[in-house]
Structure 1
Amino acid sequence: MRLRALLAVVIVVGGVQALASPAAQAASDCPSTTRSSNYGGYSTYSSATYGARGRIDFHNPDLCGSDVTGPGLSTVWAMVTAKSVDSTGSDGWAQSGYMQLGSGAPFDSSGIRIFFQNTNKCRAHASCPTGSSPYTTKFFGTASKAAFYSSYLRASDDRIHMTAAGTDLGTVGYDVTGQWKPQWSAQYGAETYHFEDDVPGTKTSQTHFDYLQQYAQNGDINFISSLSYTSPATSRYHRASYSPSVGGKGFLVWTDPL
């Protein structure tokens, strides 16, 4: 989401997979202090990038504590992001994907849910009122299979739209021109709220990220030819690049305990 302020990241590519059982690898208890880190893949920041799209496998990750009532959280997403034009502000982003979360997690939802999240305008200027959120996050239905997720600027209304499996989930509620720098990056990843939560996928059934694409200004969608990676969040989370059967770059993510 960057739920970035909340979670830890991973990336994957591949074919559609059936619902998988939880890996049963997460720690039984969640730590008293949550920790955030990033582990994912991204394209170069460019003024030619207007959105991101990718197909992400479905897996049911195990969370620390109770998957139902605990504070754990694990998510995967496709995202477009940019730096703030204001030196006091923070990065802006818009993303869609799916999330497994317990009722004790920092969102008003639980289960395995399709979601979108975007930064609010005030975040770009470090001016969000006390008590207000710098993000908008919404949940939709239950995730159960591999799907395409995208976040892109639509020329017809000059707003960033976030989609899942071809369904428009929502839009960023402001014009990002003058709020975001014009150089954008397409990013794909997995995050966890605690290092003890699992990212989706196991050593024998990895999560695939494929059909990784960028939107151009004219609406064309092109495969990403070069994909960089962030460092692993912990040695429990793993990632591997591969060449998918259809165009571009791909990668796998999974959890493998020490």
Structure 2
Amino acid sequence: MRLSKAWIIASKDLSIVRRKKSIFSTMIIFPLFVSVGLPLLIHVIAGGSAGTPDVRSGLPTVINAFAFFFLIGAATLPTTIASYTIVGEKQEQSLEPLLATPITDREILMGKSIGALLPPLAAIWIGGVIFMGLIDAFTFGLLGYPYYPNAVMAVIMLLLVPLAAITSVETSVLVSARVNDVRTAQQLGSLIVIPFALIYVLGEINAFPLTVPYLLVLAAIILVVDIGLFSLAVSTFRREEILTKWK
């Protein structure tokens, strides 16, 4: 597989993202809500409680749970781009010329995956930096130390967020092979957020502690799933059949 060819496709898809205001705004709104809105919520709740012992002891659990929202965002945001750059190109009849070029299916899928991954990852990582800065600013007086950076956030941002985004992209590819409408592809692809939302709920009730060992196990599971999804996506994305099946 030639990464240079994949990058050409990714660059083209990235240019589409810059032109589509609806896609671009989606990449900003969710990370902005999580990175600014949730620290402000903690500030209001913790500040109103005047730093009681119960609040101080429970604060790390709440902060970790809120940080998990970045993982949920990583599982959701790429569906917007991935669905549009595959089904959207089919609708605009710009996919056929691409399939006629001497580029392999793996190179096409890799290029489209890169194009769908980079904007959400950049938005989430920037949001993560803002989130950590605000959390430290709002909780230092209560905790007596800067909560971030720490190992939990490192695992979430550097392992789980990219892996969840890859899961989202590959799921969108599989869905796009069965539908011919961008909105439908986005709605079905976004269902991948359900398992991550369930893990969040389990974390809130402490059935799945959001600690480094548990998060590493989760990362290993998602990695295995991603490998399987990519192999399945390649087998689904058959250029000799795609023009007749995607109708």
- TM-score range normalised by the length of the shorter chain: under 0.3
TM-score (norm 2): 0.24
TM-score (norm 1): 0.23
Higher normalized strand content (fraction of residues): 1
